Amino acid sequence: MALFTGFLLAAALGIFHHFAILFIRLFTPHLGEQKHRGILTAFLGLLTVHTIEIIAYAAAYKVMVDAGWWGSLTGDFDGSFYDLIYFSGINFATLGYAQVSTDGAIRMVAMMQALGGFMVITWSATFIYTIWQDVMDHHWRLNPDRQQSAK
């Protein structure tokens, strides 16, 4: 049950992330003279999206911890939402270490969050790279003589 719940949460994370990237893309300008704005818009948009995703997982952990039968979070954990956000952020970034540890079925959800976090962070990096590539392609089209001197 816990692995399935973790899978569903990771799937919801991927779906949310997909539509968030589409939304961010609407606000990235069509390059031209605003090349830095496009990259910064994507970065700040993704930073916001990842923060929302981390907080959403923290809320899911809150429900599980309060229910009691999912297991518990132990160590330097006082039950505050602040600690849940910290735990969620560490898992999301797949760092795998924290002063907070899991005990019981909730471990499976945490493991699936780490997998989902790794996937969407990689996805985000690819998205930013794609925007950067568009900027560089646009730059070289406007300055073909610079492209030759760069080789």
pLDDT value of position 36: 77
3-62 residue pLDDT tens? 999 999 999 999 999 999 999 988 876 655 566 788 888 999 999 999 999 999 999 999
- Tell me how far CA of residue 50 lies from CA of 91, 141, 151, in angstroms: 12, 33, 37
Beta strands in the chain (DSSP E): 72-75, 100-103
Alpha carbon 19 to chain centroid, angstroms: 13
82-116 residue pLDDT tens? 999 999 999 999 876 778 889 999 999 999 999 99
Cβ–Cβ < 8 Å for 85, 58 = yes
Sole residue written with tokens 């959800």: 109
Distance CA 16, CA 60 (A): 15
Distance CA 101, CA 103 (A): 7
Sole residue written with tokens 């568009």: 134
pTM for this entry: 0.86
DSSP for 94-139? T----SEEEESTHHHHHHHHHHHHHHHHHHHHHHHHHHHHHHHHHH
- Structural domains in the chain, CATH included, are 2-25+37-136 (1.10.287.70)
- DSSP H helices in 28-80: 35-67
